A and B are shown apart, each in its own frame.
Chain A
């Protein structure tokens, strides 16, 4: 029985084979050429929607501007840079997914991203598993040092501690209301601050008030009323605010509505910058404080040039710059410098090459990458002005090196991080000479859990 079978005609077969071979040869040659034109992919992992969009969306634009500038200057290692943008939408588990997408699918060479510490904690295991590089531009609570993360934002000893010392020494504050959003950064920072106030400055338990609210909390009547009562006992009082995201707007509005002026109870915030102030009526906020390592009002030519470039990039005359943007500026330049030094974008080589790299910052000094993956930054205290800018009222005489493990918490006092060979440890316990691994981290966590 004749079965209907397709027999490949010999002539078709040879034609097919020829085509295949030609394609392979062409492909190989294209491949050889493409190697030099293959763009370096830079991942951007910032929320473009949700409660953190108010803070994070400008950081995506900043990295895109830096990439553009670098490409205009000839790219990096003769290759152009390409931005790969994803939107984790202020959803912390989604941050981990998007990070995996960037590293595994898009195969980016570096990621600039994250704002909240909870998002960073979600991304951490992914970036360590897939051996990626993350540049984290925001102030955070410390108690962490990862081989794959570079912390260009402030550690507590570069923001929270100097801010509280300013309040005690320069303003004469004796009572402290620690108000924060309910997640790891405010909770850990407040533990550090409480220990600092009680142990270093002998502040009594009843002179410290602590309060946490969920993200996006908008009904501040009760809490602001409590703050007012807390401040009416006769001792000078201040609020140390670790409120994050758009909950800040109704908070400051309620302070104004209840007639609390910065001269009565000043609020010093760690997560409120020019971006959060733009678009709200800053009249009632005048005199309140913020602690950062950079303000848009810094009077240097480098800063004015950066601001002009930013205004041109966004096309908005009223665009503002802020501290995390400067952190990305520093981080990007450090990474570019490390890549040039190493001659490759390979993660392991860049990781070693970047330690010791020094680039100029925007406030007239320099930032250096330390072995614990933190950088040196100056500390500035600014007062809110009518026009949404900050008036710098105090600054450290020189830059402060970031300390990943706080000296004020018992579990982390003895820990240091050093990622240079041969130590390569994120939590080395100097008291017992061992690379913490589980023990020190466990101890630290146990202490934090107390």
Chain B
């Protein structure tokens, strides 16, 4: 790999120097040469294919990069007449193709009439390196950054000199840093002190590998310096790992908070155990899917619109449940539990029959995919960051409603002492309906968030109902702060335990912990106070 890269890089540097001088138009003899290059690819032996790829790379042909990319994607094919084509879109049974040499579109061809030029994993790596090398000179900064990162660990002595020249010429600081890092890694593995010094504090895993090798090397001075550098890196790494686990815990916790907060409200105000809570979340998730179907090609806009839509849909279903079933079962918690369990089954089957028993695909918009890179050892996935932020916003909004609005005042009054509130003129029934609608709506919002993190299917609710109850029981009923603290702490505990005990055992330990906690404090972390509450 290294010999290949260094050879190629040298040749490329030479050719780039001459190429920048003159751009010659393609002549018929160039086309013949190009055809020969492509024909060299259409052989059985993979090693011969590798040589052919090198030949293409060393040619000055400006179509070379496109060919190599098409070969990598499996889109370089040959017709039965021997013509080389590039497939523009390989989905379905008939594919639009273009001539590989002239780039003119040739309409559609059936895949039965085309023969693909195959590659294997080794060639795939070779192609990626080749494209990376070409991209080092690309005017596109993004391409230069990716290819610079690919160079880490791939540098050898023939590459070192031209690399230094490249670093000096480079304008973009990020690319420069990466190239310098690549050079330092080479120097470290070659046992040179300046490499070790340059790699001090670098969190990139490849740097650590290089320092490890230097620490086991011959020169005691260099080995000592490498060991020192490694120790300081280890400390830094531990810190980053801890931060990462904390982030995982907070993001899991934010999901739990969103799922449980609606339940905390309805349970707190009405004492109703709503087993259909999970299905309300499922409805919110399906609303997101529906929105994306209605607005194809705009997943981001659909997602934002499904926030109010999910709230409304779940709230309306919640009102229907309250008016249709729960109001007749006041003061009978066991019957309410059974009735709402039945409703949850009905809702699940309804979705299965009307839509489909299979999962639905919800697309994550561009701006939510990938991760935020803090440093080489810590990157935070974006979708979970948005969900964390969303959970905090929802929490803040609910606090506002509870503290600053008339409805919130009435809800708090009814929660503390229903009879007294009624005698003050508050219509408790109306408060019940509004509370249930609010709790259900928030469940819908949780569903919208969950659609970005997990599969959207009829069983989505079942996966979260137990967790929601766990959080409510742990945090204390009817108390928003309790739900927030409980949710986040359970999430963090779960994520801290997971690498040590495994996913299944971690869940078991958390459940056992909650059972023991409830023995000591039956009313949870933040119980409600007041005579009526304790009565």
| Contact indicator B121/A281 (Cβ below 8 Å) | no
Pick the residue among A212, A249, A391 that contacts B502 (CB under 8 A).
A212
Pick the residue among B128, B369, B502 that contacts A257 (CB under 8 A).
B369
Interface positions, chain B 353-397, Cβ under 8 Å from A, are 357-359, 361, 363-364, 369-371, 379, 381-384
In the bound assembly, the distance between CA atoms of A171 and B120 in angstroms comes to: 10
Pick the residue among B73, B122, B248, B459 that contacts A51 (CB under 8 A).
B459
| Contact indicator A53/B495 (Cβ below 8 Å) | no
Check A213/B453 contact, CB under 8 A, given A225-B244, A257-B369: no
B454 interface hit (Cβ, 8 Å): yes
| Contact indicator A219/B502 (Cβ below 8 Å) | no
CB distance from A268 to the nearest CB of B (A): 11
Pick the residue among B209, B359, B361, B499 that contacts A226 (CB under 8 A).
B499
A48 interface hit (Cβ, 8 Å): yes
Interface positions, chain B 215-248, Cβ under 8 Å from A, are 244-245, 248
> In the assembled complex, which residues on chain B have CB atoms less than 8 Å from the CB atom of A218?
453-455, 463
| Contact indicator A258/B381 (Cβ below 8 Å) | yes
> In the assembled complex, which residues on chain B have CB atoms less than 8 Å from the CB atom of A256?
369-370
| Contact indicator B504/A213 (Cβ below 8 Å) | yes
Interface positions, chain A 124-147, Cβ under 8 Å from B, are none
> In the assembled complex, which residues on chain A have CB atoms less than 8 Å from the CB atom of B499?
222, 226
| Contact indicator B381/A257 (Cβ below 8 Å) | yes
| Contact indicator B371/A222 (Cβ below 8 Å) | no
B212 interface hit (Cβ, 8 Å): yes
Pick the residue among A49, A249, A258, A394 that contacts B120 (CB under 8 A).
A394
Task: Indicate with 1 or 0, residue by residue over B97-138, a CB within 8 angstroms of chain A CB atoms.
Answer: 000000000000000100010111110110010000000000
CB distance from A392 to the nearest CB of B (A): 8
B252 interface hit (Cβ, 8 Å): yes
Task: Indicate with 1 or 0, residue by residue over A11-29, a CB within 8 angstroms of chain B CB atoms.
Answer: 0000000000000000000
Interface positions, chain A 220-273, Cβ under 8 Å from B, are 221-223, 225-226, 232-234, 246, 249-250, 253-254, 256-259, 263, 266
> In the assembled complex, which residues on chain B have CB atoms less than 8 Å from the CB atom of A388?
91
Interface positions, chain A 385-410, Cβ under 8 Å from B, are 385-389, 391-394
CB distance from B281 to the nearest CB of A (A): 13
Task: Indicate with 1 or 0, residue by residue over A53-89, a CB within 8 angstroms of chain B CB atoms.
Answer: 1100100000000000000000000000000000000
A211 interface hit (Cβ, 8 Å): yes
| Contact indicator A279/B361 (Cβ below 8 Å) | yes
B251 interface hit (Cβ, 8 Å): yes
Interface positions, chain B 451-467, Cβ under 8 Å from A, are 453-455, 457-459, 463
In the bound assembly, the distance between CA atoms of A383 and B384 in angstroms comes to: 29
Pick the residue among B121, B248, B504 that contacts A214 (CB under 8 A).
B504
| Contact indicator A259/B371 (Cβ below 8 Å) | yes
Number of residues on chain B facing chain A (CB within 8 A): 53
A317 interface hit (Cβ, 8 Å): yes
Interface positions, chain A 278-328, Cβ under 8 Å from B, are 279-281, 287, 304, 317-318
A217 interface hit (Cβ, 8 Å): yes
| Contact indicator B352/A49 (Cβ below 8 Å) | yes
Task: Indicate with 1 or 0, residue by residue over B396-422, a CB within 8 angstroms of chain A CB atoms.
Answer: 000000000000000000000000000
CB-CB nearest in chain A for B373: A259
> In the assembled complex, which residues on chain B have CB atoms less than 8 Å from the CB atom of A182?
504
CB distance from B288 to the nearest CB of A (A): 16
B293 interface hit (Cβ, 8 Å): no
| Contact indicator B458/A386 (Cβ below 8 Å) | no
CB distance from A46 to the nearest CB of B (A): 12
Task: Indicate with 1 or 0, residue by residue over B493-522, a CB within 8 angstroms of chain A CB atoms.
Answer: 001001100111000000000000000000
Check A246/B248 contact, CB under 8 A, given A254-B381, A258-B381: no
> In the assembled complex, which residues on chain A have CB atoms less than 8 Å from the CB atom of B371?
257-259
Check A257/B361 contact, CB under 8 A, given A232-B208, A383-B121: no
Check A257/B383 contact, CB under 8 A, given A287-B124, A393-B121: yes
Check A263/B454 contact, CB under 8 A, given A225-B244, A386-B90: no
CB distance from B131 to the nearest CB of A (A): 12
Pick the residue among B251, B358, B495, B502 that contacts A54 (CB under 8 A).
B358
B74 interface hit (Cβ, 8 Å): yes
B25 interface hit (Cβ, 8 Å): no
In the bound assembly, the distance between CA atoms of A182 and B504 in angstroms comes to: 9
Task: Indicate with 1 or 0, residue by residue over B477-506, a CB within 8 angstroms of chain A CB atoms.
Answer: 000000000000000000100110011100
CB distance from A266 to the nearest CB of B (A): 8
In the bound assembly, the distance between CA atoms of A226 and B121 in angstroms comes to: 24
> In the assembled complex, which residues on chain A have CB atoms less than 8 Å from the CB atom of B454?
218, 250
Check A281/B244 contact, CB under 8 A, given A222-B499, A257-B371: no
Check A221/B381 contact, CB under 8 A, given A49-B352, A50-B459, A263-B124: yes
In the bound assembly, the distance between CA atoms of A21 and B99 in angstroms comes to: 82
In the bound assembly, the distance between CA atoms of A131 and B358 in angstroms comes to: 33
10 A-B residue pairs with Cβ-Cβ distance under 8 Å, sorted by A, are A54-B359, A218-B454, A219-B252, A222-B499, A263-B125, A280-B361, A281-B363, A383-B121, A391-B116, A393-B120
Given A57-B357, A214-B504, A385-B90, 16 more pairs with CB closer than 8 A: A170-B120, A219-B252, A221-B381, A232-B209, A234-B209, A256-B370, A257-B369, A258-B381, A263-B125, A263-B128, A281-B363, A317-B93, A383-B121, A385-B73, A386-B74, A394-B120
